[in-house]
């Protein structure tokens, strides 16, 4: 037990606040004004850091935040605020920036999907929010319909609410599956061209049946216009990752769209405890960091950045194809990760190295470099983006790629 006397004694070991400025140098761990890290934590832990020539992969910790975003995070860490008030005001600012009726910062696109659906299911009824994921006997609807071709792992986010997810193939099947238990229709933009119903037709069907529709756009900036394209198209809820193209906190996301659904979704969010969303807490630092990342993302010169990516990709591609037996091609995915992507493949007779081996060599070099998978089924192909590089690193990637391809030859 800590007695009052002990407490006072312990406190007296800590310099008084007024004295902090003067002692900051002597106590580097308290010196919040310093931006130079006192320690090389990753090195100390033996954690590998690398040049990310792959893309915004969660396993690779997403994206790097801008110094301005980190400054906002540090700013937010210095004061207490009421969580709901911050969400209200940040939400309002974000909504106006992206021309949405309402917005809330969530902990990733995945939680935006779960929480948006809770808003649809519960409406403004706290008892219903407390009942999720047990829907039976509550009067809440119990089904969500999506396309088979959209069956991505993240669709699990829907199931967290307790709903049954029905998968259909065609427009006819979709319309037939709609019944009085249908809560919502769900669309995955990344898979738009894989399904038999595409993004505009899908929202028309939802409207014709008077059903709310949600779209997963997690990896769909750039282009920047996508931040308002789908709410304008009529989608009631649009889910984005914060830590991909927007370069906000990796564990943040955006739920944009109709107040009618997103405001009640807040009933399932922290600080409220008796809810399915309580474990999807997002702190004030990330909420503010997300807003500031979005502001910087919107304000940047997108055309100039695109040109930079094209130049970087050309540099890396030219280095790779200078090795005999190597073929390169630049493609831009139509939906999701819409950025210049370099596909590198090689003649296994001239370069008898599998992609797995090549990636391992890049990984073990100094600096360590990560690249992405190539075409599925081709053991002699990789792909590269310069999206997540710190400018200048493209030269390192170009030189190393040429080196490992030549070594393999
Ligand atoms: C990344 C991704 C998600 C998950 O997003 P988080 O922000 O990591 O929660 C969901 N759907 C798609 C299509 C994604 O690419």
| CA 124 to each of CA 106, 252, 385: distance values in angstroms, whole numbers, following the listed order | 19, 24, 44
> Does ligand 1 lie within 6 Å of residue 57's CB atom?
no
Which of 207, 187, 211, 185 is CA-nearest to residue 199?
Answer: 187
Question: pLDDT 10s per residue in the chain (409 long)?
Answer: 444 444 444 444 444 444 444 444 444 444 555 566 689 999 999 999 999 999 999 999 999 999 999 999 999 999 999 999 999 999 999 999 999 999 999 999 999 999 999 999 999 999 999 999 999 999 999 999 999 999 999 999 999 999 999 999 999 999 999 999 999 999 999 999 999 999 999 999 999 999 999 999 999 999 999 999 999 999 999 999 999 999 999 999 999 999 999 999 999 999 999 999 999 999 999 999 999 999 999 999 999 999 999 999 999 999 999 999 999 999 999 999 999 999 999 999 999 999 999 999 999 999 999 999 998 889 999 999 999 999 999 999 999 999 999 997 6
Which of 164, 177, 181 is CA-nearest to residue 205?
Answer: 177
Q: What is the pTM of this model?
A: 0.90
> Does ligand 1 lie within 6 Å of residue 219's CB atom?
yes
* Alpha carbon of 300 to ligand 1 centroid (Å): 23
- Helix (H/G/I), strand (E/B), else coil: 167: strand
Beta bridge partner(s), residue 239: 216, 255
* Alpha carbon of 109 to ligand 1 centroid (Å): 5
* Alpha carbon of 283 to ligand 1 centroid (Å): 19
> Does ligand 1 lie within 6 Å of residue 218's CB atom?
yes
pLDDT in tens, 361-409: 999 999 999 999 998 889 999 999 999 999 999 999 999 999 999 997 6
The ligand 1 atom nearest the CA atom of 241:
7
How far is 50 from 211, CA to CA, in rounded Å? 46
Which of 310, 249, 258, 259 is CA-nearest to residue 283?
Answer: 249
* Alpha carbon of 155 to ligand 1 centroid (Å): 10
* Alpha carbon of 315 to ligand 1 centroid (Å): 30
> Does ligand 1 lie within 6 Å of residue 108's CB atom?
yes
Which residue segments constitute the domains of the chain, with CATH numbers given?
A: 81-299 (3.40.640.10), 302-408 (3.90.1150.180)
pLDDT in tens, 158-178: 999 999 999 999 999 999 999
Contact 328, 320 (CB under 8 A): yes
> Does ligand 1 lie within 6 Å of residue 162's CB atom?
no
């Amino acid at each position: 037990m800590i007695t009052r006397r002990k407490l006072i004694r312990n406190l007296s070991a800590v310099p008084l606040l007024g004295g902090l400025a003067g002692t900051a140098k002597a106590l580097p761990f308290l010196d919040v004004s310093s931006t130079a890290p006192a320690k090389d934590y990753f090195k100390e832990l033996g954690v590998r850091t690398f040049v990310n020539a792959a893309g915004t992969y969660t396993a690779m910790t997403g994206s790097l935040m801008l110094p301005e975003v980190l400054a906002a995070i540090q700013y937010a860490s210095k004061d207490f605020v009421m969580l709901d008030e911050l969400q209200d005001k940040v939400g309002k600012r974000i909504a106006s920036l992206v021309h949405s009726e309402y917005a809330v910062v969530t902990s990733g696109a995945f939680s935006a999907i779960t929480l948006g659906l809770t808003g649809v299911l519960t409406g403004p009824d706290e008892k219903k929010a407390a009942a999720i994921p047990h829907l039976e006997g509550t009067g809440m609807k119990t089904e969500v319909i999506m396309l088979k071709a959209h069956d991505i792992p993240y669709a699990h986010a829907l199931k967290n609410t307790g709903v049954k997810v029905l998968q259909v193939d065609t427009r006819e099947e979709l319309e037939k599956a709609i019944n009085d238990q249908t809560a919502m229709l769900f669309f995955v933009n990344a898979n738009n061209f894989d399904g038999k119903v595409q993004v505009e037709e899908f929202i028309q069907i939802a409207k014709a049946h008077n059903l709310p529709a949600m779209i997963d756009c997690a990896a769909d900036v750039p282009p920047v216009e996508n931040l308002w394209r789908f709410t304008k198209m009529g989608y009631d809820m649009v889910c984005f990752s914060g830590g991909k193209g927007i370069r906000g906190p990796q564990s943040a996301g955006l739920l944009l769209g109709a107040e009618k659904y997103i405001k009640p979704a807040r009933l399932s969010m922290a600080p409220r405890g008796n809810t399915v969303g309580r474990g999807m807490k997002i702190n004030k630092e990330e909420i503010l960091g997300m807003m500031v990342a979005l502001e910087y993302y919107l304000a940047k010169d997108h055309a100039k950045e695109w040109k930079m990516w094209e130049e970087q990709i050309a540099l890396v591609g030219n280095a790779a194809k200078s090795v005999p037996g190597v073929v390169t091609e630049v493609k831009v995915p139509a939906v999701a990760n819409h950025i210049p992507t370099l596909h590198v493949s090689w003649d296994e007779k001239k370069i008898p190295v599998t992609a797995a081996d090549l990636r391992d060599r890049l990984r073990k070099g100094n600096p360590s470099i990560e690249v992405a998978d190539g075409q599925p089924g081709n053991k002699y192909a990789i792909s590269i983006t310069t999206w997540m590089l710190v400018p200048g690193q493209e030269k390192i990637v170009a030189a190393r790629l040429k080196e490992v391809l030549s070594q393999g030859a």
